[in-house]
Amino acid sequence: MGDRHDHGRDAVLALQAAQILATAAQGAHVTPGQAAAAMIAGSRGATVPTHLERSLRRAIENARTPSLPAARTALLPSRGRTEEALAEFRRCRSRLAASPPDEAARRAVDDAAYTLCVMLGRTSVHDAVVAAERHLASPA
């Protein structure tokens, strides 16, 4: 009976690890396979790319942080500031898409994403973008 319980727990942990790796890969703009290969190489002494390591740390932190209820921001930033931050995030993301190996572009995306998340009280970039779009679409 204990073995069955351990197997179930191991399956849940494997699923959580796969979700964290997929989230990290998405944040680093690589495939999950590329992220996994880099992590395996890192465990063998190779250097893990900084942007991937940063993305993995962020994904782990997000997995450890309990989700907040949907109405989590009591005070929203101004519409103008929200629009500026969202536009900056999109500009940075486009710049990175045009030149994936550009470390400065990758840092700019990370900074813009962080700003958007903090401004809107969200723990994921996707949630922050959705919240920004809702804020901008809502009646004044």
Count Cα neighbours of 93 within 13 Å in the Cβ-side half-sphere.
16
pLDDT in the model for residue 123: 86
Span between the terminal Cα atoms of the chain, in Å: 59
CA distance 115 to 101: 22
Q: Is 35 exposed, middle or buried (0-12, 13-18, 19+ CB in 10 A)?
A: buried
pTM above 0.85, yes or no: no
8-state DSSP, 70 = S
pLDDT block averages, 10 residues each, the chain of length 140 = 58 79 88 90 91 88 66 74 95 92 92 91 89 87
CA distance 83 to 81: 5
